[in-house]
A and B are shown apart, each in its own frame.
Chain A
Amino acid sequence: MFFVVVFLKKEEYLDEVVEALVEAEIKGLSIVDGVEMEKVLAVDIPIFAGLVRSMGGMRGANKVLFGITEVGDNIKEFISILRDIDAPEDISRLVEVISLPVSDYLSGD
């Protein structure tokens, strides 16, 4: 059993990422809206306001998908599918995927 986290840096590719998860038979993840830490720094903390210019093209919003999957091979399959997606950008370069083995687990199911 693995805890999987997917950080998607460009939210416009969320459909492709979710479809790839489903294709890899990974289900039940939660999806939350995220904000790049640098954006908070640059926008909300006055001393770092200069970052807006120096970062050039800050995206700001991202998506974070996380949850439990039972089979580790599914994560490899997910990454492989991401690499194969026919999109204007290589989506596998726009995500960070982390999986961690889970030792203790309590489910409401």
Chain B
Amino acid sequence: MKLKEIIDKDLVKIGIEAKDKEGALDELLGVIEKKFKITNREDVKKKLLEREAVKSTGLGNGIAIPHAHSEFVEGIAACIGISKEGVEFTCLDGKPAHVFVMIVANPQYNLKYLSLLAHTARILSREDIRQKLIDAKNEEEVVRIIREFEG
């Protein structure tokens, strides 16, 4: 599964305002809620925090892919957040995160959820893509970068 199947400009936020991990999770969840049905926000946030407690999804190199399953999500939902300043996200390399892709899904969609997670990790492993996303001037440009890469 590819990000372009889900992401549009309304699911991108440039200028993440949060200063810490929990704040960033809240903010990203707010972006997702603009377009996807989440019937129990607290449960989804709890699942995201539980996942972070296992091991941070701040993978290093300025990227974080917070993700979780919850039965209170309809289908698969995702959003992208960009922070030029960076957010302290307990990344594996100890540096701030600049590019966030949050993915939450109903457990019924596990295979597609895992596919999207792997795909996102592969996209963001590319330094050129990461830098383009950080430098993007607006939400449309972020969507265009993703679509160009995914073809």
List chain A positions with a Cβ less than 8 A from chain B. 19-20, 22-25, 27, 81, 84-86
Do residues B111 and A20 form an inter-chain contact, with CB atoms below 8 A? no
What's the Cα separation between A81 and B118 when bound, in Å?
Answer: 11
Do residues A23 and B125 form an inter-chain contact, with CB atoms below 8 A? no
Q: A22-B115, A86-B125 are in contact. List 19 more A-B contacts (CB 8 A).
A: A19-B121, A19-B122, A20-B118, A20-B122, A22-B118, A23-B1, A23-B115, A23-B118, A23-B119, A23-B122, A24-B115, A25-B111, A25-B112, A25-B114, A27-B111, A27-B114, A81-B122, A85-B122, A86-B126
- Contact for B1 among A20, A25, A86, CB less than 8 A: A25
Q: Which of B68-125 contact A (CB under 8 A)?
A: 111-112, 114-115, 117-119, 121-122, 125
What's the Cα separation between A24 and B117 when bound, in Å?
Answer: 11
Do residues A19 and B126 form an inter-chain contact, with CB atoms below 8 A? no
Q: Whole-angstrom distance from the CB of A92 to the nearest CB of chain B? A: 14
Do residues A25 and B115 form an inter-chain contact, with CB atoms below 8 A? yes
- Nearest B residue (CB) for A85: B122
Q: How large is the interface on B (under 10, 10 to 19, 20 to 34, 35 or more residues)?
A: 10 to 19
- Nearest A residue (CB) for B149: A84
Of A23, A24, A86, which is in contact with the most chain B CB atoms at under 10 Å from its CB? A23
Do residues A19 and B111 form an inter-chain contact, with CB atoms below 8 A? no
Do residues B114 and A84 form an inter-chain contact, with CB atoms below 8 A? no
What's the Cα separation between A86 and B110 when bound, in Å?
Answer: 26
Do residues A22 and B114 form an inter-chain contact, with CB atoms below 8 A? yes
- B118: chain A residues at CB < 8 Å are 19-20, 22-23
Q: Whole-angstrom distance from the CB of B76 to the nearest CB of chain A? A: 13
What's the Cα separation between A54 and B119 when bound, in Å?
Answer: 41
- A84: chain B residues at CB < 8 Å are 122
Q: Whole-angstrom distance from the CB of B123 to the nearest CB of chain A? A: 10
- B126: chain A residues at CB < 8 Å are 86
Mind listing 10 A-B residue pairs with CB under 8 Å?
A20-B118, A22-B114, A22-B115, A22-B118, A23-B115, A23-B119, A25-B1, A81-B122, A85-B122, A86-B125
- B111: chain A residues at CB < 8 Å are 25, 27
- A86: chain B residues at CB < 8 Å are 122, 125-126
Of A22, A24, A27, A81, which is in contact with the most chain B CB atoms at under 10 Å from its CB? A22
